[in-house]
A and B are shown apart, each in its own frame.
Chain A
């Protein structure tokens, strides 16, 4: 005898959306090989480290590391306010060069008289003096004996 019985289907547990997203992330990391690479790396970390160190200990690699370090240290010696002045000066200089380039068609050769006048232009010489001084210092450094920068820095 199959008398009717009512049955309430129990409500399903609320889906754990965070867990689903995590599962999906894991699945994608797996599908795209990221997990495999990470696992491979971890499992072979000693060997991999040795290979990485061996590669890094080549002359070219060492040069890259030293040069990048020198640039970083040089930037460390420049106070930000000086770099700001310098960057503004470079920008201004570039703009004037652009303007001068645009006006080049209209410029004429200065001639002997014009050159004589330039030699007596106080503003021009006060602008050129720092550049000339800079060039002088730059040239002296070029003539110094090559030494390890760290040694030089600590002299």
Chain B
């Protein structure tokens, strides 16, 4: 650290040198001086509520959390006045919080209240503890609030208001008995709470507690309530005689006693592509809780409802625990050896009869990068085919295509911190708050605290739209037109970044010529957005000092998905928003490892690191390493495999961890294709719809039962450690693939996934420096990673990966949506995710808590359409497209308008799954299905019916935004006395 950033602070006559402008608590901690505190947290900042961290500075008492280290500062920590003030603050805390640590679920060594009282050697309870006039709030499915234990530190409020930015929690400081409120009310489950868990994570005691911890944390916490209370009363009767030290001795023993039982393992979330890492606390197979930590590089203390609470599926009773073999019209249990023998026999038979390209392989976006590497190696090296793909074909291949065309790498340009630091975000077709919730928190923070501007283009009024500074609602499938029109307007008005274009971008003039037809008037006609509005947006983008483009499935899942992705990349280049901090393109990767699956070669035309299989030199490298010949021709992708099966070109399919029968478009057509297969192998943790058509089912293992790495949407490698042993009968997917290859005669001998990563890193230059050692604990690396371990948090800082180092503008034409509304099919069916469910729901449907929030699938219908069709919330309707029909209950909401309806992906059966309605149309450049282009008609089956969402669902409640904890209102109370003055009612605040 340069000297200019250091300062000298005199602490009790000692001169200490350290970083300037950091909270005094942190400064002192850097010198191994512990200043007791409870409400302060590095992420949350100085809340100033606990009144403990007093020091004397410049002759006055000041809180060490809000005081910043500066040169010349003189403070007294051991000053008598400061000690008295700290003691008074701590006495007030224990007046509000009943200390019954040995039977408390939070007595695990990290309880801040316990630790501060012990550290300060508080000898006894000076102020009597008094109960508050509130019952324990047990209403919420995932956590419990006990006002009697709440110390009113406000951490939960700060986390909700300013980290998660859902703005539900507050404290009623002016009330006679302040407490935490949810939307101003006393019932947590009747509020806008999105169950992200931030509040529980940051609670320094047991006021907010995960329900999975209750009665489970330690041997004594399992005591029945009927015994617990008398036991607490007994100890409390003795405590006035013996004081805190003896009682704390017992609780320290209890805490130590728990440690061997509680295992804390770092893992990475298995849901979306944000890549949240955290510690998972377990006792044997029991998942006690998910505990995010400050040092997690992506999420810090943040999680969403699924990452924090959605892990029931791991111990679901219907986990597959034995291989199954189709036999005489039914499945029978089989040994692994028999299953492997059958797979080897049938694969060899089909290969001999029809050639290697009659076999195909689908890797999983839920599995590790190492497992995708092995899947593509199995296809290429053992079978001899490039028919290998992964789930990114269903979502983000168009984005990758758009980036390859323009800037070069198929990944987000920078990091989430770049998104947070940008002056302007252009968010297109991304329901970020529900699909990538933790990234959304960073965007909402930037908007709330730093004035970041958001332009949001979306059909549906989701949270990002509600918070947008500018919202446009283009007609479905017309994004390319308004984006191109804005770019043309920029050029026409000299608003482009000419210097950047001249220096760093090719094909500029050619591109300008291609824009001729994209006038504002044309755009208005096609998109329905007024020309002047678009002009205003263009100027807004042009004047922003830094801008990022965010997009997701709303862009990619169209017949022109690659083109719209390209258009957004063009826009960023034209405005000079690339190759510097806080700029660039950010397609939001959907699944936990959809990036890694492609990165590690589960693609029909690319090896790991995106090198072409058609490149002789590259192919030779792999052939030499693997000792085989590899075909040079590009294979089938997920989507074209289905057609190839119908055309009898593919006879066998091996699907690992994908519910292809439901999540591929035109599901009926897919399932018909599976009927035609000679041999289908499905590897999964549950008996899915895809398994129904399998010949062999292999029981794999979820992320917490194995080691490996995931790559998130920022191109960031993170290691996941094995939290628990695989469920008996199951095997890690990398081991299954190794053994399948062995059964096929390949001499694979991987003992650990690290060996797989080492092999991949030795072959793919993009990952040359990736190793498990460099990813130890919470360390991470963003690709490309040089051999010396240098990674790349922001791409293109030194140019673009093309021959001359320049990016390219890519000319585009407008291709209208494939499915058009007409008199028969007059409803546009939009679709996508919900916060509380993931993809089709095979994992999240097995969480009782998540299911209580969203019990089933539904269709959102606008009030206008509902009135015209005579339906209301709860009505049962059929949605019928040319490809199939589903039945769903209606939810009338103004999130949708006119004849546009919205159906979540949330279904695992043909009666409710959205892909029964989708067509076989796909993006013309990447074959990603045009999921978002559905024309259907709506038939009313039954007018009256049960509402599809419970009234407690967060969507029905109104948040209570405020700037933070509002501690000043506490200080304004008439009975507040600043320590060391003694409080009259210490239990009140």
A12 adjacent to chain B (CB < 8 Å): yes
A2 adjacent to chain B (CB < 8 Å): yes
A5 and B674 alpha carbons, distance in the complex (Å): 12
B694 adjacent to chain A (CB < 8 Å): yes
CB distance B317 to A1 under 8 Å? no
Neighbour of B693 across the interface among A2, A8, A12, A20, CB < 8 A: A2
What residues of B have a CB within 8 angstroms of the CB of A5 in the complex? 326, 329-331, 692-693
B319 adjacent to chain A (CB < 8 Å): yes
A11 and B319 alpha carbons, distance in the complex (Å): 9
CB distance B326 to A2 under 8 Å? yes
A12 and B321 alpha carbons, distance in the complex (Å): 9
CB distance A2 to B695 under 8 Å? yes
B677 adjacent to chain A (CB < 8 Å): yes
Closest chain B residue to A15, Cβ basis: B285
Neighbour of B671 across the interface among A4, A8, A11, A20, CB < 8 A: A4
Contact with B along A6-24 (1 / 0, CB 8 A): 1111011000000010000
Neighbour of A1 across the interface among B324, B330, B675, B691, CB < 8 A: B675
What residues of A have a CB within 8 angstroms of the CB of B21 in the complex? none
Question: What does DSSP make chain A's interface, helix, strand, loop or mixed?
Answer: loop
A12 and B679 alpha carbons, distance in the complex (Å): 29
A6 and B695 alpha carbons, distance in the complex (Å): 12
B258 adjacent to chain A (CB < 8 Å): no
What residues of A have a CB within 8 angstroms of the CB of B202 in the complex? none
B680 adjacent to chain A (CB < 8 Å): yes
**Shortest Cβ distance from B7 into chain A, in angstroms?**
50
A4 and B675 alpha carbons, distance in the complex (Å): 7
A6 and B689 alpha carbons, distance in the complex (Å): 8
List CB contacts (< 8 Å) of A19-42 with chain B. Answer: 20
A2 and B327 alpha carbons, distance in the complex (Å): 11
B676 adjacent to chain A (CB < 8 Å): yes
B320 adjacent to chain A (CB < 8 Å): yes
- Once A and B bind, how many residue pairs between them come within 8 Å at the CB atom? 45
CB distance B687 to A7 under 8 Å? yes
CB distance B317 to A2 under 8 Å? no
Closest chain B residue to A9, Cβ basis: B318
A4 and B670 alpha carbons, distance in the complex (Å): 12
Neighbour of A3 across the interface among B284, B320, B331, B693, CB < 8 A: B693
A1 and B677 alpha carbons, distance in the complex (Å): 6
CB distance A7 to B331 under 8 Å? yes
What residues of B have a CB within 8 angstroms of the CB of A3 in the complex? 675, 693
CB distance A2 to B321 under 8 Å? no
A142 and B691 alpha carbons, distance in the complex (Å): 97
Question: What does DSSP make chain B's interface, helix, strand, loop or mixed?
Answer: mixed
Neighbour of B675 across the interface among A2, A11, A12, A20, CB < 8 A: A2
**Shortest Cβ distance from B181 into chain A, in angstroms?**
40
What residues of A have a CB within 8 angstroms of the CB of B329 in the complex? 5
CB distance B324 to A7 under 8 Å? yes
Closest chain B residue to A2, Cβ basis: B693
A8 and B691 alpha carbons, distance in the complex (Å): 11
What residues of B have a CB within 8 angstroms of the CB of A8 in the complex? 687
What residues of A have a CB within 8 angstroms of the CB of B695 in the complex? 2
Report the count of interface residues on B (CB-CB < 8 A). 25
A2 and B680 alpha carbons, distance in the complex (Å): 7
A8 and B318 alpha carbons, distance in the complex (Å): 8
Neighbour of B691 across the interface among A7, A11, A12, A20, CB < 8 A: A7
A3 and B320 alpha carbons, distance in the complex (Å): 20
**Shortest Cβ distance from A139 into chain B, in angstroms?**
45
A23 and B317 alpha carbons, distance in the complex (Å): 23
A2-B675, A2-B680 known; A7+B321 contact, CB < 8 A: no
List CB contacts (< 8 Å) of B299-346 with chain A. Answer: 317-321, 324, 326, 329-331
Neighbour of B674 across the interface among A2, A6, A9, A11, CB < 8 A: A2
Closest chain A residue to B260, Cβ basis: A28
What residues of B have a CB within 8 angstroms of the CB of A12 in the complex? 317, 321
A45 and B687 alpha carbons, distance in the complex (Å): 57
What residues of B have a CB within 8 angstroms of the CB of A4 in the complex? 671, 674-675, 692-693
CB distance A7 to B692 under 8 Å? yes
What residues of A have a CB within 8 angstroms of the CB of B691 in the complex? 7
CB distance A1 to B676 under 8 Å? yes
A7 and B697 alpha carbons, distance in the complex (Å): 11
CB distance A2 to B319 under 8 Å? no
A5 and B697 alpha carbons, distance in the complex (Å): 12
Closest chain B residue to A12, Cβ basis: B317
A2-B326, A3-B693, A5-B326 known; A11+B677 contact, CB < 8 A: no
A20 and B321 alpha carbons, distance in the complex (Å): 20
Closest chain A residue to B686, Cβ basis: A9
Neighbour of B317 across the interface among A7, A11, A20, CB < 8 A: A11
What residues of B have a CB within 8 angstroms of the CB of A7 in the complex? 324, 330-331, 687, 691-692
What residues of B have a CB within 8 angstroms of the CB of A20 in the complex? 284
What residues of B have a CB within 8 angstroms of the CB of A2 in the complex? 326, 674-677, 679-680, 693-695
List CB contacts (< 8 Å) of A120-155 with chain B. Answer: none
CB distance A9 to B692 under 8 Å? no
CB distance B694 to A9 under 8 Å? no
What residues of B have a CB within 8 angstroms of the CB of A6 in the complex? 692
Closest chain A residue to B320, Cβ basis: A9
A11 and B676 alpha carbons, distance in the complex (Å): 32
A4 and B691 alpha carbons, distance in the complex (Å): 8
A9 and B321 alpha carbons, distance in the complex (Å): 9
What residues of A have a CB within 8 angstroms of the CB of B675 in the complex? 1-4
A3 and B693 alpha carbons, distance in the complex (Å): 6
What residues of B have a CB within 8 angstroms of the CB of A9 in the complex? 317-321, 686-687
**Shortest Cβ distance from B297 into chain A, in angstroms?**
35
Most buried by B among A5, A8, A11: A5
What residues of A have a CB within 8 angstroms of the CB of B693 in the complex? 2-5
A30 and B270 alpha carbons, distance in the complex (Å): 36
What residues of A have a CB within 8 angstroms of the CB of B330 in the complex? 5, 7
A62 and B680 alpha carbons, distance in the complex (Å): 83
A2 and B693 alpha carbons, distance in the complex (Å): 5
List CB contacts (< 8 Å) of B686-728 with chain A. Answer: 686-687, 691-695
Contact with B along A63-79 (1 / 0, CB 8 A): 00000000000000000
Closest chain A residue to B332, Cβ basis: A7
Closest chain A residue to B674, Cβ basis: A2
**Shortest Cβ distance from B700 into chain A, in angstroms?**
14
A20 and B330 alpha carbons, distance in the complex (Å): 35
A5 and B695 alpha carbons, distance in the complex (Å): 10
**Shortest Cβ distance from A141 into chain B, in angstroms?**
44
**Shortest Cβ distance from A1 into chain B, in angstroms?**
6
**Shortest Cβ distance from A10 into chain B, in angstroms?**
9
A9 and B675 alpha carbons, distance in the complex (Å): 22
A5 and B680 alpha carbons, distance in the complex (Å): 13
Closest chain B residue to A7, Cβ basis: B331
A4 and B668 alpha carbons, distance in the complex (Å): 12
A34 and B320 alpha carbons, distance in the complex (Å): 39
**Shortest Cβ distance from B664 into chain A, in angstroms?**
15
**Shortest Cβ distance from A21 into chain B, in angstroms?**
11
A20 and B285 alpha carbons, distance in the complex (Å): 12
**Shortest Cβ distance from A122 into chain B, in angstroms?**
45
A21 and B321 alpha carbons, distance in the complex (Å): 23
What residues of A have a CB within 8 angstroms of the CB of B321 in the complex? 9, 12
Closest chain A residue to B330, Cβ basis: A5
List CB contacts (< 8 Å) of B657-685 with chain A. Answer: 671, 674-677, 679-680
A60 and B321 alpha carbons, distance in the complex (Å): 66
What residues of A have a CB within 8 angstroms of the CB of B317 in the complex? 9, 11-12
**Shortest Cβ distance from B269 into chain A, in angstroms?**
25
A2 and B695 alpha carbons, distance in the complex (Å): 7
**Shortest Cβ distance from B351 into chain A, in angstroms?**
18
Give 11 CB contacts A-B under 8 Å. A1-B675, A2-B674, A2-B680, A4-B671, A5-B326, A5-B329, A5-B331, A5-B693, A7-B687, A9-B317, A20-B284
> Ordered nearest first, which 5 A-B pairs have the shortest CB separation?
A4-B692, A9-B318, A2-B693, A7-B331, A2-B680
Interface contacts beyond A2-B677, A2-B680, A5-B331: sample of 15 additional A-B pairs, CB < 8 Å, sorted by A = A1-B675, A2-B326, A2-B679, A2-B694, A3-B675, A4-B674, A4-B692, A4-B693, A5-B326, A5-B329, A5-B330, A5-B692, A7-B331, A7-B687, A9-B318
